Structure 1
Amino acid sequence: MHPLMKPQKLRPGDTIATISLSGGRAGDPDMIERYTFGKQQLKEHFGLHVVETPNSLKGKAYLYNNPRCRAEDLNWALTNPRIKGIFVNSGGDDGARLLPYLDVNRIRSNPKILLGYSDVSVFHMMFTYAGVSSFYGANVLSSIAQPDGLDTYTEKWIRKVLFSGSCIGEVEPEDKRAEIQWDKTKKSEWVTNTGYELLQGKGRVTGRLLGGCCGSMQQIMGTEIFPDKELWKDSILFMDIGTPYGVETATLHQLRAFAAAGIFKYARGLLCTGMNDSDKDILIKVIRYEEGLTDLPVLYNLAIGHRIPMTVIPTGALAEIDCDHTTFSILEAGVKE
């Protein structure tokens, strides 16, 4: 995989735009208070000035029926000189519907930070196709607007990756984790995290980071924006596998789709979110027994899934898995000064 163009880093006082690319719930009556709290968190923790893209708060029904409006919002944010970064409100399930309305040249000509996860993977693939790095990490509603506020781990990695042009370095596991809390009257139920687990592999491997939410990436296989084998070659894959679907066959189908495309055989290593035991067994079954990749390093339980907290993964950045010490490091900056 070749390096991607890095966007400019964020600074306190910068203006960022929040956007509803995949799901439109941020503008629904039962969610607008949570969105407003997330906006406040961005101001208080990072000193950012937050504006909404023109259609982002028009609600789930309107945005589902008008995918072109969502695409126009992205084009607006990219070409607006005031906007220094684009933070996605939430995931969803139909980001691929926007592809006919997006202009790759606008992304390439206006490289800006795009932060989000889950179905936002569709747009990370679009940015990769355009040659621009983007960032798999916290969405506004699910991660930043938690009822008890932005957690320190997620804040640390947003700041370290998006606000600094220095080498990122080792990405330590979180000390505690919790399921996303959607009830504003309740606090997050934190449990102790067990850290990273090496499922297989030895020594050190390096490669450029490429990946996202498997279910969303599976939807765009066969499109021109899905990475070709030259991009997957010698990469370190990061995969948010299975979790949001809760169905074992969905996990199996996701992994076998990537296996059938040869992607695991092109890669130098694999980073995975934490999963339930059955999904974890399916991962080992496909990688080790069906694909026969017994030496492929697989590091498990990274904070890149549908839970809190979250780290931030810069697509295209050079990274390392150290199997002997069970560590993961990013060997360069995610943004430029």
Structure 2
Amino acid sequence: MKKARRLQPGSKIAILSPSSGLPFLFPENYELGLQNLRDVLEFEIVEMPTARMAPDELYQNPQLRAEDINHCFKDDSIDGIITSIGGYESIRILPYLDLDVIVNNPKMIMGFSDATTFLSYLNQLGLVTFYGPGVLAGLAQMKNLPSTYIDHLKSILFGEAFPYTYKPYELWTHGYQDWNNPEMVGQCKEFYPNETGWKFLQGNTTQQGYLWGGCIEVLEFMKATKYWPEEDFWQDKILIFETSEEKPSPNHVGYMLRNYGVQGLFSKVKGVMFGRAKDYTPEENVELHEMIVKVIKGEFGADELPIVVGVDFGHTDPKIILPMGVKFEINPQTNEIVLLESPFQK
């Protein structure tokens, strides 16, 4: 796997909008996210042409969005890329990506939700990519989230201490206060205590593998296209899935998982990780967890495959950063998720 050069305070980070024009609609929240990147992480910010583009114009120009990504990888002065937020149709930019430029000039590129399309595809092509917060969703709220969140961001983006053991955040929230209210910019909704942390639904043995996945609904857009992995890709992978604000039902998640089972993946991969399901009630979480086990174990016989749920990534806050393409270890006995190597060049 090709790793980017390590980030540090002063690194030049490009901001772009590969899917949704929400920075145009919510400039106060967007500006706060940029300021937090400058103040807390001490990054130098470079805004790409699509970063503040109006939603209609952005939608009409998938090639322009791809050209922003191409330019960032081509420009050696840029150290990393962070998306403004997700959306719903970034798959339209994939045909316009300059793969030779991107693969041969590895950079840190981070996002979540609809960014799943290019993060998962570029990972297939050999690039370490980062499933983590965006400017409006996760970084604008940085100073109003538990202090351990900032510690985590710095540990992953700047740190040199690996292996790195992830820890569940003590508090979590389902979302943000109204972005239309300037007085509530950067504020989160109600916080809940993370009393149990994440939970292994099954598995008895420690497994090691390389993360791949993202938003489970977005991955559906990619199936049966040339951007979907080949059969030999799945060995030694740990699948990561999370659900969006559209809140697919437990049954719907089961439908999607069943497709992975029919592909034969549950006999090839080393584990499955689910992010905390957004806006699920405790009762719905029980149904979801039962459905996951029903499909993976009950329908496809993968009764020893480790499955961990409620992990702090995706449409939840604070988020952990999950680098895809570097080795992880998941341990059902100790309830641990460990990043075994640096996601950056030495």
Fold conserved between structures, TM > 0.5: yes
1:12-48: CA deviations, max 9, x gaps?
Answer: 11110111012121122xx111100000000111110
In the other structure, the counterpart of 1:323 is 332
Q: In the alignment, is the contact (CA less than 8 A) between 2:276 and 2:316 conserved in 1?
A: no
Please list every run of 5 or more consecutive structure 1 residues that lacks an aligned counterpart in the other structure: none
Tell me how many residue pairs correspond in the alignment: 331
Shift in Å, 1:151: 4.4
Determine the C-alpha separation between the residues in 2 that align with 1:332 and 1:164: 11
Which of 207, 210, 214 matches 2:209?
207
Determine the C-alpha separation between the residues in 2 that align with 1:269 and 1:51: 37
Q: Percent identity?
A: 29
- Secondary structure in 2 matching 1:252: helix
What is the root-mean-square deviation of aligned Cα atoms in Å? 1.7
In the other structure, the counterpart of 2:7 is 10
Determine the C-alpha separation between the residues in 2 that align with 1:149 and 1:62: 32
Which of 223, 229, 232 matches 2:231?
229
Determine the C-alpha separation between the residues in 2 that align with 1:230 and 1:260: 15
Per mean C-alpha deviation after superposition, the further-off stretch among 110-119 and 165-174 is 165-174
Which residues in structure 2 correspond to 1:71-220 (within 5 Å)? 71-146=66-141, 149=144, 151-184=146-179, 185-186=183-184, 187-188=187-188, 189-193=190-194, 194-220=196-222
Q: TM-score, normalised by structure 1?
A: 0.93
Shift in Å, 1:289: 1.1
Q: In the alignment, is the contact (CA less than 8 A) between 2:142 and 2:150 conserved in 1?
A: no
Per mean C-alpha deviation after superposition, the further-off stretch among 314-323 and 244-253 is 244-253
Q: In the alignment, is the contact (CA less than 8 A) between 2:36 and 2:142 conserved in 1?
A: no
Q: In the alignment, is the contact (CA less than 8 A) between 1:20 and 1:70 conserved in 2?
A: yes
1:182-209: CA deviations, max 9, x gaps?
Answer: 4254442111012021100102111112
2:273 maps to 1:279: no
Q: TM-score, normalised by structure 2?
A: 0.91
In the other structure, the counterpart of 1:267 is 269
Q: In the alignment, is the contact (CA less than 8 A) between 1:205 and 1:321 conserved in 2?
A: yes
Determine the C-alpha separation between the residues in 2 that align with 1:199 and 1:267: 16
Determine the C-alpha separation between the residues in 1 that align with 2:244 and 2:300: 22
Determine the C-alpha separation between the residues in 1 that align with 2:44 and 2:290: 44
Determine the C-alpha separation between the residues in 1 that align with 2:55 and 2:137: 16
One-letter amino acid of the structure 1 residue matched with residue 124 of structure 2: Y
Per mean C-alpha deviation after superposition, the further-off stretch among 41-50 and 19-28 is 19-28
In the other structure, the counterpart of 1:309 is 318
